[in-house]
Chains A and B, each alone.
Chain A
Amino acid sequence: MTRGIDVLLVEDDEAIAELYRARLLQDGFRVSIARDGEEGLRLATSLRPDLIYLDLRLPKLGGLEVLRELRKSPAGASVPVVILTNYEEPELGTVGPSLGVEYILLKAETTPSKLASLTAQLT
C-alpha cells in the first residue's frame, strides 16, 4: 500500500531514527533521514517532503536555524513541521508558533505507533 507520501526525519541519533523509520515504512510512508542540520535543510528543499519531523540539537546547524532558513525559501514556507526533541527549550513556546510549527513532541513520550498515527493525521 504505497501512499506516495514523503516524510523527512531530521535526527542525528541513528537508533532513534531507525526506530521511527521502521514503523513509518511499515505504514507505507516513504522516509528520508537527514543526520545533521545542513543535510536536513538540503533535503527539505530538494525533496519537498509532505511532512518534516525536526530534532532541535543537531550537528552543523541547529533545528531552529534550519526551520528559520526553510521558512525563508518559497519551497519550504508552508511544509508542515513537527518538532521532535528530547530537549526542552523555553523559547519554543513562542518561537515555535511563529515559525509555523504544528506540534512539539517529546521523543521520550512518543512511541513509534504514536508517530505513525500523527503522520497519518497530518498528511
Chain B
Amino acid sequence: MRLKRILAITLLIIVFVLTSSITVFSETPGNSFTHWETPSGQKAVYMSDMYEPIRRISVASLGLEAGISPINDIARDKNGNIYLLAEDGNIIVFDNNYELLRKFYITENGEALTLEAAEGIYVSDKDQLYVSDSIGSRVLKCNMQGEIIQIFEAPKSSIIPKDFVFTPTRLLTDSKDYLYVVSDGAYYGALLYTPDGEFSGFYGANTVQSTVLGTLEYLWDALTGNDVKRSKSLKTLPYQFIDIDIDDKDFIYTCTGKTAGDSVGQVRRLNPGGTNVLYKELWNGSRQEAASVNFGENEAVMRNNKKVVQNFVSVKVDRNGMIYALDQTWGYIYVYDREGHLLTAFGGGYGNNDIIGHFNTATAMEIVGDKLYVVDSFDSTVTVFELTDYGRLVIEAQCLTLDADYIEAESLWQQVKALDGNSQLALSGLAKAAYSKGDYKTAAILSEQAYDRATYTQAITETFNLWFTDNVVLVTVILVLIIGIIVATVVYMKKKSITFKMNKKVKIMLFGVIHPFDNYRMLKEERLSSWGLSVIALALFYVTSFIRTMGSNFRYTNFDPENYNSLFQFLQTVGMIVLWVIANWGISTLMQGNGRFKEVFTVSSYATVPISISNILLLLLSNSMIAAADTLLSTINIIFTIFAGVILLIGLMVIHDYSFPKFIITAIIAVFFMILVVFVIFMIAMLLSQCWQFIVTLFMEAICR
C-alpha cells in the first residue's frame, strides 16, 4: 500500500515537472523614463526623450589606426575639446565637431611614456593635464604638450594605514589647485594634495550606516572572533569612491559603484568640509539624506538566482547643477536636479551596445554644453547624446523653479505638460506658479495631482483663508443657529422630560469603554453578547479601514493603487480578530477561563469600535485639515487604539474571570497560537496553489493531445 502511494506521488511529481514552465518574451521597453514620487514610493513612468544619441565615435571614425588600448576615461578642456585616455596612457583629443586634433603620449625627459594602467584624466582650466598611473602608483601632472611637470606619489603620513596601496584612478583639481585623487581600495575618501604636492589628508569618506542589529553583531563577532568572521567583516567597510567631479563652487560630487544590500547613497555632494550635503526632496516636502536614497531602481532583476545590482561608475555635474550618474549595469544615465528630483533616465542596452545609445560597459562620461559624451570601454567608442528641444525646456523650467522663479517658469512648464502628460515636475511647477499668482484653487488641484504636499497645504490654507474672509458673517450666523438649535432642543427635552432609551446590547457596544468593568460584567451575567452586533462592529471595522486607506487625503495615506487590495485589509482586520477569538477561546478553555466563544467574539469585536470611530474621524480630518497635522492625527489614532486595547483587556478579564497576569499569559500564548495557525494556513495555501496549477496544467495537456 505504501509502495503504491509512493508510486502515485512520484508519478504526480513527474507529470508536474514535465508539464510546468513559463514562457518568456516581452515587448521592448521605452527609451526614457522618470520616477514619480508618490506617497507609496517611487514609480517609473515613460517620458519624452530629454537626450537623444546623435553619433557614435570610434577610433576608426576619428581616422586613427588600430592598436588603441581600451579607453578608460574622458575629460574636457575649457575650450570644449574632448580628451580620451587609453589604458596605455595614449591621449586622443578631438573637438566639438568630432575632428581629431591630436594623439599623444605623456613624455618624461622627452621620451614617450607608456603606462600599464592609466585610469583617469583631468584637464584643469589652467591648462594642466593630470593623468593617474594606477599601476605606477602616481599621478602625473603635465603641460598641454604632455610633458610631465610634477609627480604626485603615494602619500607618506601617519594617518595612512600600513596596508594601503596607492592606486589612483579618477582625479580633479579645485579652484585653488588642490588635487583630489580617488584611489582604488581607499575607503577613507579621496586623497587630497596641496598645490605643492603635499598630502593634506583624506577627504569626504563614506560612512557605514550603523544599526542596532549591526552593532550587536559586531559585538558578538568581537567576542567570538575568528579569521573567517574577520574576513567577512570587511564587507562592512564604507564604499569607496569610483568617480568624482566638481562644480564651480568647489562642491565635490562622488559616486560609489555597487552598493549591495539596500543599494542606497550611490551619489553624494560634498561641501568643502567633506560633508555630504546632497538630499532628496520627497513628495511630502521632507528632505531625505542622499546617504539613504536609492539613486537607481527599486525593482531588481534576478538572473541565475542572483540579484543584479546597479553599478554607478561615473558622476558629472553640469553648469546648471544637474547631476548625471552613469549606471554600468543597465547602461542608464540618470539626470538629477540639485534637490534630488530625477529629471530623466535614458540610455540602456542592458549590456548590449548594438544600438547607438545603448552600452555594453559604459565607463565614463563628460559634458560639454548640450552634449553628453559616454565612453563604452567594451569597444572603445564614445556615444554623443544631445539635449532635445523637450530636454532644454525641462531643464530651463526646473532651474527657474529651483530658483523660486515660478511665474517665469510657468509658460515653460505648460509647454512641457503639452508634450508630456506624465511630467510630475510640470504639474508641481505649474502648481507653484498658480500659487505665486494667487490662483490657490488651481494650485491645490495641480499640487494634489503632483503629490506636492507642501504646495497643496499652502494652497488649501490660502483657499480656506480667502473663503473664510469672504464668508465670515455667514459662518458666524450658521454657527449661532446650530448652537441655538441644540440648546433649544436640550431645553425642550428637559422640560418635557423626553429621554432616549438605548438597547442594553447596543449601549455596551458603543459605551462599554465608559464603565468597562460594569458593562462587561453585565454582558456576562445578563448574557447580553450578540452575534449580530459583533458582526456589524467587525464589518464596520473593515469598511472604515479600507475607506480610510483609500479616501484619506494624499498627505496622510500611503495608498498605492497599483498594489492595494482591500481583501488583504479584510484579512488584517476581520481575519485577525477571528483568529484572535479562536486562539483566545481555545487557550482560555484550557486555562480555566469562563468566557464562552460568543462572549469572546463579542468583546473582541466591540473592542474594534473605537478604531472604527478613529478611522472615520481621521478620514474626515485628513480631508479637512488645512495645515499638515501628522502629529495630531497620529495622536488621535494612538488614543483610540489604546481605548480599543483597554476594552479588549478589561472585557476579556471580566468574561474569563482572569486576573491581569493570567490574562497576559493567555494572551501571549494566544498570539503564539495565531502565528502558528497563520503559518499552517500559509503552507496549506501554497500546497493548494501548486495542486491547482498541476490540475490546470494537466487539463491543458489533456485537451491539447
A and B, one complex? no
Interface residues of A (CB under 8 A from B): none
Interface residues of B (CB under 8 A from A): none
